[in-house]
A and B are shown apart, each in its own frame.
Chain A
Amino acid sequence: MAATATRIDCDIHPAVGGTRTTLLPYLDDHWKEQVVSRAIDGLDLNSYPPNMPLSGRADWRPEHGKPGSDLAMVQRGAFEQLGASHAICNVLYGAQAVFDPYMAAAFCKAINDWIAAEWLARDSRLRASIVVPMQAPDLAVEEIERRAGDTRFVSALVLAQGETLLGRRHYWPVYQAAEKHKLPIAIHAGSQYRGAPSSIGWPSYRYEYYLAEAQAFQAQILSLIYEGVFGKFPGLKVVLMESGVSWLPAFMWRANKTWRGVRVEVPWVEREPAAIIRDHIRVTMQPFDGPPDAAGVANIIEQIGSDKMFLFASDYPHWQFDGDDAMPPHLPASIVSRMCADNPLETFPRLKLAA
């Protein structure tokens, strides 16, 4: 399938082999010595164990190494097979979960320099998110400033479940830097494992953990709204990646109702949450988690009430679908055309495409 039209895949996952292998050339002498002498490696996130079926579709698994670790294979899958014209790389290796903030910053820097040198430089269709160490917001700002001059970086990547909710004031310098450089904040499914994935405690299954991510995303949206992030940074956009989509309508209804009931607590939030969500939140479309029938899907899209929020994504090499079509079934045609080009270009202003 040849990519003739613009079709931007907003969420693909190149894999880091390891700290002592892939990233070693991109670490300074101190951290080179540290990772070797202390054997600091194996930082694949607990959210995505490489052998878990979801972590790699069977036909997208290389003979050796992790799904997403082979550039040629990613090119064949994301571009030739799935028909993207461009794709945004979101690296989920565990730098974001390290406790030592200096180590976290060093690993984030190494990941960003590695993806620039070994992926972006080798294929002009690729873009990437800047991986930032939210463990230390000042260091996250430094990393954004360090990479902001490179327009191939189009967003800043954080995990859905971190140390504190993302609206909290100590993160605001990160959002200030992101807004300044026209970088949306990309919140991707995944956890630092600082606390249980829900109020009920630690689940038995990864399946359960994965499902709970949807509620974590909802909590992040509420936190960003009610702490006043979008009032403070009106140009900021937040992209939910691999969050699921179909929960949005009921979530927005409940948010509006709750806000109407107790808005006196947050007087700086002057508009209904749903209106703020439609203006500031964007969402990638794999997985969509929709109802099985076309009428139901159309209903969900209508209830969300905005055709600007949807971003095409395959989640390659994660196993979200079989076959060559990354588009969730039954989507209305009007959404399909917008989500491939117009919406990504509006959401990621730095996404300057080759003519």
Chain B
Amino acid sequence: MSDVIDRPILKEEASLDKEASAQSRLRIIDCDVHPSIHAQSDLYQFMPKRWQDHLKTYGSHLRTPYIGTTPYPRSSPLIARRDAWPPTGGPPGSDLAFMQKQHLDPLDVEYGILQVLDHFIFSQQNLEFGAAIQRAINDWQLAFWSDRDPRLKASILAGQDDTQLAIVEIERCAKIGRYVQINVCPRANEPLGRRRYWPIYERAQELGLPLGIHVGGYGGHAPTGGGWPSFYVEEHQSNAHTVAAQLTSLVLEGIPERFPSLKIVFIEGGFGWIPSATWRMDRHFEQFRSEVPHLKRRPSEYVKQHFWFTTQPIDEPDEARHLRSLIDWVGVDRLLFSSDYPHWDFDDPRFAFKTPLTEIERGKIFNSNARALYKP
């Protein structure tokens, strides 16, 4: 089976020439690429002086203990692949030419959807400052990335905790018209299904932009329902708990019922957790449905129609057929390939799926699902 498992999606150049006329190459849409800010001063041109000064003087105000690093020291500097540091200096993901050479070109990435995590933009306690940083980074994504490489598609960063400012920024970016989704944070003041956030979903639906939810952020609550873990190895896995809780919140609050055209994408949550979370929702629907009379259908039906999930970090069962049944349970139509470049737990599109997929399935997961969703 190894010939199937290890078969590259990309053909070697020699064989490619031979097959070129027979079939077109499968190009990749990578739904999770992380660009980094090379130097903080790069952002100043996109910020009023008042917020530049604030950034220099007060910096980030997050609900975490340290100003210079994350609360759980990561497994590698800037959670990056060791080979992802640009030879020209700067942090991994900060040099477009190196990203092209290391990632976009060799893996034949047709489009990369940018996910900016710098400055923990969604977790700023000063909401006005947060909005200023989000706005600056939204402009920076176009000027430093999309303008220079049209394969890279920007997301509108819109911190949901000041809903009004978020809408203003969504409107501003939507007028520019070059963004492919609206990003909100999975760890904020309240669960994403809560009423205070509905105006964002209403506007996203009207604009036809998917709602992207990339793991991360600091909402002030412990990363797990049992409290604060001691180790990064625990915090890292808690990302899966976070996305499961957010899927639950969005479904149970009736977001798909209230905003039926809204498309919601969970990014970097993986997808192994989805079947059991969905079975559990359905299993207890009868016991609790009198509490949620706004739900007209079983929770699983909403999940199957309104939500998409990026694949990284892909699960690695001991046996390939178990990954196969997982994919069948989730549904090939719901999956979007993502690499998480340049982070340490990067998934290589050539080797990540250690189970056979048909050409049609590969086409959907690696390209056409994302193409239909993002219309890049």
Distance of A217 Cα from B272 Cα, bound (Å): 17
B81 to chain A: closest CB distance in Å?
12
Determine the residue in chain A with the shortest Cβ distance to B230.
A227
The total of chain A residues at the interface (CB under 8 A) is 70
In the complex, the answer to whether B221 meets A199 with C-beta atoms within 8 Å is: yes
- In whole angstroms, what is the CA distance A325 to B141 when docked? 59
A197 contacts B225, CB within 8 Å? yes
B288 contacts across to A, CB distance below 8 A: 53-54, 205-207, 210
A203 in contact with B191 given A210-B288, A249-B317, A266-B231 (CB within 8 Å): yes
* Contact, CB under 8 Å: A257 / B291: no
**Least distance between A78 CB and chain B CB atoms (Å):** 19
Q: Is the CB of B279 within 8 A of A165?
A: no
Contact with B along A83-122 (1 / 0, CB 8 A): 0000000000000000000000000000000000000000
Interface: A18 (CB within 8 A)? no
Residues on B with C-beta less than 8 A from A202 are: 190-191
B245 pairs with A247, CB closer than 8 A:
no
Give the total number of A-B pairs whose CB atoms are below 8 A apart.
Answer: 237
Instruction: Indicate if A256 sits at the interface (CB-CB under 8 A).
Output: yes
* B344 lies within 8 A of A261 (CB): yes
Chain B residues in 8 Å Cβ range of A251 = 240, 272-273
**Given that A53-B290, A205-B288 are contacting pairs, would A226 and B230 also be in contact in the complex, using a CB cutoff of 8 Å?**
yes
In the complex, what residue of chain A is closest to B246 when comparing beta carbons? A200
| B225 and A203 contacting across the interface, CB-CB below 8 Å | no
Is A246 an interface residue, CB under 8 A from the partner? yes
Q: In the complex, which of the residues B221, B276, B292, B345 contacts A244, with contact meaning CB atoms closer than 8 Å?
A: B276
Q: How far is the CA of A296 from the CA of B227 in the complex (A)?
A: 33
- Which B residues lie within 8 Å of A207 (CB)? 252, 284, 287-288, 291-292
Q: A262 contacts which of B232, B238, B272 (Cβ < 8 Å)? A: B232
Are B316 and A264 interface neighbours, CB within 8 A? no
- The stretch of A277-285, A287-295, A342-350 that contacts the partner chain: A287-295
Contact among B229, B287, B316, B317 with A165 in the assembled complex (CB-CB below 8 Å): B229
Instruction: Enumerate chain B residues within 8 angstroms of A25, measured Cβ to Cβ.
Output: none
Q: Which residues of A contact B276 (CB under 8 A)?
A: 214, 244, 246-247, 249-250, 289
In the complex, the chain A residue whose C-beta lies closest to that of B280 is A289
Interface digits, B269-311 against A, CB 8 Å rule (1 contact, 0 not)?
A: 0101101110111011001101110000000000000000000
User: When the two chains form their complex, are residues A205 and B226 in contact, meaning their CB atoms are under 8 A apart?
Assistant: no
Known: A210-B284, A215-B224, A219-B241. A266 touches B191 (CB 8 A): no
Q: Nearest Cβ in chain B — how far from A267, in angstroms? A: 11
A216 touches B (CB below 8 Å): yes
Interface centre among B186, B316, B344 (most CB of A within 10 A): B316
> In the complex, what's the smallest C-beta–C-beta distance from B362 to chain A, in angstroms?
22
- Interface pick from A62-70, A135-143, A156-164, A174-182: A156-164
Are the CB atoms of A257 and B315 closer together than 8 Å?
yes
A125 at interface (Cβ–Cβ under 8 A)?
no
Q: Which of A54, A163, A208, A218 contacts B241 (CB 8 A)?
A: A218
Report yes or no: A161 in contact with B75, Cβ–Cβ below 8 A: no
**B351 interfacial by beta-carbon distance below 8 Å:** no
Contacts of A256 in B (CB 8 A): 316
Whether the Cβ atoms of B291 and A205 lie closer than 8 Å is yes
Interface stretch (choices B87-95, B198-206, B259-267, B322-330): B322-330
Q: Which residues of B contact A203 (CB under 8 A)?
A: 191, 245, 248-249, 252
Q: Is the CB of A247 within 8 A of B227?
A: no
CA–CA, A298 and B137, complex, Å:
49
A253 within 8 A of B: yes
The answer, yes or no, to whether A204 is at the interface (CB within 8 Å) is yes
In chain A, positions 243-275 with a C-beta closer than 8 Å to chain B are 244, 246-247, 249-251, 253-259, 261-266
A212, CB-defined interface residue at 8 Å: yes
Q: Does B16 contact A (CB under 8 A)?
A: no
CB of B147 closer than 8 Å to a CB of A: no
Distance from A171 Cβ to chain B, minimum over Cβ atoms (Å): 12
Distance in Å: Cβ of A326 to nearest Cβ of chain B: 15
Of chain B, the residue at the smallest CB distance from A257 is B316
A303 interface residue per 8 A CB criterion: yes
30 A-B pairs with CB atoms under 8 Å apart are: A54-B288, A160-B226, A162-B226, A162-B227, A164-B227, A196-B221, A197-B245, A200-B187, A200-B188, A200-B219, A200-B245, A201-B190, A201-B191, A208-B191, A215-B241, A219-B234, A222-B233, A223-B226, A226-B230, A227-B230, A254-B240, A254-B270, A258-B237, A259-B233, A265-B75, A265-B232, A287-B283, A289-B280, A291-B275, A303-B317
Q: A53-B290, A249-B272 are in contact. List 11 more A-B contacts (CB 8 A).
A: A53-B288, A163-B227, A165-B226, A200-B221, A201-B188, A203-B248, A205-B292, A215-B245, A251-B273, A253-B322, A303-B317
